Structures are given as C-alpha cells and as structure tokens.
C-alpha cells in the first residue's frame, strides 16, 4: 500500500474500500490499484496490484510479495538486506520488530501514455483535470475536441426583432431530437413554441 500516487505508473479506478488499522475503530480508504515500479540501487522492482491509500501514514510493502520476486532476505543484528542474484536490492533497519527500508527508494520515472489517459477521460464523460487528480488517475490528456466544443460559447444574437403587438405576429420555434429513449407514446422529438408578443409558450 502506498500513500503517494506518484509511485504508480497509472491508476485503475477502484470502488473505495475501508481497511481497518491498528488504531481502535480507525480505518483508511483505498482509492486505486495498479502496478508500482520502484527503483533502488539502479534496479527496478515491479510490484503488482498495489493499493493507493492517500491517508496512510507510511508505505507498507508485503514481504510475501517480495519473496514471490525470488528475493533472499538476510539479517545482521538490527539490519536486514534483500538480495537478488547476489546483489543487494533493498536494505534497512529493524526497529520494534518492524522492518524499515532505508530512504534510498525512488519512484519509477515511467510516464503514462496519452492513449491511456484519453481512455479514462472518455470513460468518465470528460471530467476536468482536478477531478482526475482527486481520483488518482493520469492527467496528461491530449486536446479533446468534445471538451473544446462544450466550453465554446456562441455570440448573442443582435436584437433585430421588431416588437410584436398582437398574438401570433411573431413565433419562436425550436425543434429538439431525436431523443433516446423515446417517450411513453413513442415520440422522439419535441417542439417548443413561444409567442413573442404574449410570452406564451407550448411544448
């Protein structure tokens, strides 16, 4: 479990799950899941299915996951080392029966390609960058035509209508459709009619 989304190459949206902690009646919430690539001593350690937990006080790495990477652990007094092919990958200290990795661990400098970012942007119906950040998702989206059209505004029409003095002198009509699903009677369009003189409208 990691508390900083920068450790993740990218994040998959995850239904939020509360995880109990050692504190009585205290929980932390998961916000995403993905692969983490850690760099230490010029070696990359790939950990799959890691959880993103923003409120976690410190990062937690499962020893079982490390053993599955065929790493060997050695202990020398209050220090420990993890080796792979006789090379030290990780080292740290044992304090109060907990193993603390030395601060030589770096986030992988991998970046998410625009294609994956655009997929999430489209799936979530074109949210803003601030929304994507809050969900722990990549934000390097390319130019989105839908967003540009949605944010564009049409200039107001000039007031060229002469004042209508009598009903039905001037009508404003607006046809909308087709809509899906259709209405109960099976209609797929609706027409709005507004009388300019009376302000009466009918759909």
- Give the model confidence (pLDDT) of 156-171 as tens digits: 666 666 778 888 888 8
- What pLDDT digit, counting tens, does each position of 62-106 carry? 877 777 777 788 888 888 888 877 788 778 888 887 888 776 554
Token representation of residue 84: 């792979």
Give residue 178's pLDDT band: very low, low, confident or very high (50, 70, 90). Answer: confident
- What pLDDT digit, counting tens, does each position of 20-34 carry? 876 767 788 888 887
pTM > 0.85: no
Collapsing DSSP to helix, strand or coil, 11 comes out as: coil
Residue 112 in this model has a pLDDT that exceeds 50: no
Residue 3 gets which letter from DSSP? S
Token representation of residue 163: 């004042």
What confidence score (pLDDT) does residue 10 get?
A: 63
Token representation of residue 67: 């053993």
Q: How far apart are CA 142 and CA 146, in angstroms?
A: 12
- Environment class of 57 (CB within 10 Å of its CB; exposed 0-12, middle 13-18, buried 19+): exposed
Give residue 114's pLDDT band: very low, low, confident or very high (50, 70, 90). Answer: low
């Amino acid at each position: 479990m990691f508390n900083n989304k920068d450790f993740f190459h990218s994040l998959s949206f995850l239904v939020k799950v509360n995880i109990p902690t050692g504190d009585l009646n205290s929980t932390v919430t998961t916000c995403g899941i993905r692969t983490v690539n850690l760099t230490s001593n010029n070696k990359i350690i790939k950990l799959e299915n890691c959880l993103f937990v923003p409120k976690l006080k410190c990062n937690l790495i499962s020893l079982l996951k490390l053993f599955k990477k065929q790493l060997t652990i050695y202990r020398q007094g209050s220090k420990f080392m993890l080796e792979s092919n006789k090379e030290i990958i990780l080292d740290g200290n044992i304090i109060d029966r907990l193993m603390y990795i030395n601060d030589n661990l770096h986030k992988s400098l991998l970046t998410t390609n625009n294609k994956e970012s655009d997929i999430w942007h489209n799936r979530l119906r074109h949210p803003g960058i601030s929304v994507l950040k809050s969900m722990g998702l990549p934000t390097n989206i390319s130019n989105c035509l839908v967003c540009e059209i949605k944010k564009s505004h049409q200039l107001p029409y000039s007031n060229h209508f002469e004042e209508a003095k009598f009903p039905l002198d001037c009508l404003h009509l607006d046809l909308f459709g087709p809509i899906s699903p259709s209405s109960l009677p099976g209609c797929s369009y609706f027409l709005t009619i507004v009388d300019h003189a009376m302000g009466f409208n009918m759909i």
